Amino acid sequence: MEIVRDIKTMREKVAEMKRQGKSVGLVPTMGYLHEGHLALIDTARKENDVVVVSDFVNPLQFGPNEDYLVYPRDMDRDAQLCSEHGVDFLFVPTVEEMYPKKGNQVDVFVDVKHLDENLCGRFRPGHFRGVVTVVTKLFNIVSPNRAYFGMKDIQQLRIIEEMVNDLNMNIEIVPVPTVREPSGLALSSRNTYLSAEEREKAASIYKSLLMAKDLILEKGVISTAEVIGTCTRFLSQQGFKVQYFQLVDYDTLELLPKIEPPQKIIIATAVFLGKVRLIDNLVIEVR
C-alpha cells in the first residue's frame, strides 16, 4: 500500500492505473476507521482492480459548535487497517492541500437544495454543502469508477446519489448496509465518546427503529404522527434527548404525513446521550 499526501501525486497514480485499463474504487472517510468503514473497503476490494481510501477530516462539514477539533484521529492505526484490507492507495491530504487559499477560505461550493431540509440537514445548516463540496473535490482528484458510502449516513448517501445524477458525473455510487454491534448499535467513530454504560443504553436507538417498523408493517399503523410519538416517548424514557424522529420518502427525503403504500420509507432518528450525538436509520418498503 502506498500513502499519498498531495493531489498531484494522487492524480498521477490513478491516471497510470487507468492507462493500464484498471477500474478504481474510492472509499471516502474521515478516518478513525471501524468495521463499518472496513465493510466499505472490503466491498470496494471485491469490485475493483484498484482501491483508494481517502482519510480526511473535512472542516467544511462541521458547524461552529461541533466536534471538529476533538474528532477522533489515529492515522497510524488507519494505515495499518487499510494495508491489512488490501487498499492500494491511502490518500491523506492536509487541510492546506485541500483548501489552499489563505485561511483555508473556500469561495465556490457545491450547494444542496430541498434534500437537506429534513433529517440531519435541518439541524446542521451548511453541513451537507460541506460534504458534497469535499466529495466533489475527491471525485475530481481520484476519478473513480465507483465510490462507496454507508447506509448509516442515509441522507448523505441520497444527496450524493442525486448530486452524481444531477451533475452528470460518470461514477457509480455503491451503498453498503450499516454494520452493527451485536446489541444493534450502529458503528460510528463517535461511539468512542461513550462510556461502557452509555454504549449499552445506546442499543435502544436501533430498538426504536424496529418499533417503528413493527408499528407500520405488522400493526398497520398509517399515522406517522402516532409512530413518531410512540418511538420518541420510548427514547425519552430511555434517557435520550431526541433531536428528531422522522419518516421521510426515500427518493425525495420529504416528510410523510401518513403511510400510503406502495412506499419506500426512511425511518431515521438523531439523539443526544449526554453530549454525544448519535444517528441511525432503517429503510422499509410498504407494499
How far is it, in rounded angstroms, from Cα 206 to Cα 183?
9
Please count the helices (runs of H) and the strands (runs of E) in the chain: 10, 9
Whether residue 85 is annotated as binding a ligand: the answer is no
> Any idea what DSSP says for residue 255?
B
For the chain, the residue count is: 287
Please tell me whether 36 is known to bind a ligand: yes
Check whether 190 is labelled as a binding-site residue.
Answer: yes
238 is in an annotated binding site: no
- Answer yes or no: is 34 a known binding residue: yes
2 marked as part of a ligand binding site: no
Pairing of strands 172-176, 50-55: unpaired
List active site positions. Answer: 37
SS3 44: helix
Q: Is 25 annotated as a binding residue?
A: no
The set of cell numbers assigned to 113 is 437544495
- Residue whose C-alpha cell reads 472490503 in the numeric block: 42
- Taking phi first (over 0 means left), then psi (-120 to 50 degrees means alpha), and beta for anything else, what does residue 10 get? alpha
169 labelled ligand-binding:
no
| Residue 37, annotated as binding a ligand | yes
The answer to whether 153 is a known ligand-binding residue is: yes
Place of cell 455503491: 174
C-alpha cell at 147: 465510490
Residue 233 counted as an annotated binding residue? no
Is 179 annotated as contributing to ligand binding?
A: yes
Q: Which helix (H) or strand (E) holds 203?
A: helix 203-217
Alpha carbon of 150 to those of 10, 105, 174, 227: distances in Å?
A: 24, 29, 9, 26
Q: Tell me: is residue 188 an annotated ligand-binding position.
A: yes
Angle at 183 between CA 160 and CA 46, to 5 degrees: 45
Give the C-alpha separation, 200 to 202, whole Å: 5
Place of cell 440537514: 121
Cell of 66: 461541533
Residue 20 annotated as binding site: no
Q: Is 35 marked as binding a ligand? A: yes
Gap between the Cα atoms of 82 and 41, Å rounded: 8
List binding-site positions for ATP.
30-37, 150-153, 179, 187-190
List binding-site positions.
30-37, 61, 150-153, 156, 179, 187-190
List binding-site positions for beta-alanine.
61
